[in-house]
């Protein structure tokens, strides 16, 4: 299973993260960090599997070269032009669980801000290129995530 995207920049960041964040503050935080991998997270796999069972066919991690940006949604319906992202609560700063950590804030805060900016730019570039964007928080129950994707496809 591919955990890393192969993107050298991302790999560097991951290595960097490990070096700067050697010891978990508590077991809960540690689990949370591990769940914050960029792709093939559990909620993402569950959504893909459910969609596939329902007969939907999609591309995963397809790089879309748009006029204004290169974007790699988690799930792409090319013909319908629907792009689905399953966003990690920590990395994408979910309003419920995305509270910025106070420890090492000097490291995390700019990184999280960059992620949010990148998400905003991706949404804009996709919208301008005629794509429908569905963003699902990783904490959302599968039923709700499925319903959101299906209604975008109808």
In the complex, minimum distance from the CB of residue 88 to Zn ion, in angstroms, rounded to a whole number: 8
Sign of CA dihedral 22, 28, 29, 30: positive
In the complex, minimum distance from the CB of residue 3 to Zn ion, in angstroms, rounded to a whole number: 21
Q: Which is nearer to Zn ion, 58 or 119 (CB)?
A: 119
Q: Which is nearer to Zn ion, 89 or 134 (CB)?
A: 89
Q: Looking up tokens 């106070």, which residue turns up?
A: 102
Q: Which residue spans within 24-81 are E strands per DSSP?
A: 59-60, 64-65, 70-71, 75-77
Q: Which is nearer to Zn ion, 45 or 94 (CB)?
A: 94
Q: Which is nearer to Zn ion, 94 or 153 (CB)?
A: 94
Non-local CB neighbours of 75 within 8 Å, separated by 6+ positions: 44, 47, 48, 51, 58, 59, 60, 83, 84, 86, 149
Instruction: Please give the residue ranges that form the binding site for Zn ion (CB under 5 A).
Output: 89, 94, 96-97, 137, 139
In the complex, minimum distance from the CB of residue 38 to Zn ion, in angstroms, rounded to a whole number: 16
In the complex, minimum distance from the CB of residue 116 to Zn ion, in angstroms, rounded to a whole number: 14
């Amino acid at each position: 299973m591919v955990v890393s995207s192969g993107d050298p920049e991302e790999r560097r960041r991951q290595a960097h993260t490990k070096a700067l964040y050697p010891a978990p503050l508590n077991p809960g935080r540690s689990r949370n960090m591990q769940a914050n991998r960029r792709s093939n997270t559990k909620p993402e796999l569950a959504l893909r599997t459910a969609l596939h069972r329902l007969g939907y066919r999609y591309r995963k991690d397809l790089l879309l070269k748009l006029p204004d940006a290169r974007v790699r949604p988690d799930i792409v319906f090319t013909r319908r032009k629907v792009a689905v992202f399953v966003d990690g609560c920590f990395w994408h700063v979910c309003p419920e669980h995305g509270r910025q950590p106070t420890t090492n804030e000097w490291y995390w805060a700019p990184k999280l801000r960059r992620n949010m900016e990148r998400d905003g730019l991706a949404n804009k570039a996709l919208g301008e290129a005629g794509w429908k964007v569905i963003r699902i928080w990783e904490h959302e129950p599968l039923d709700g995530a499925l319903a959101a994707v299906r209604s975008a496809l109808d």
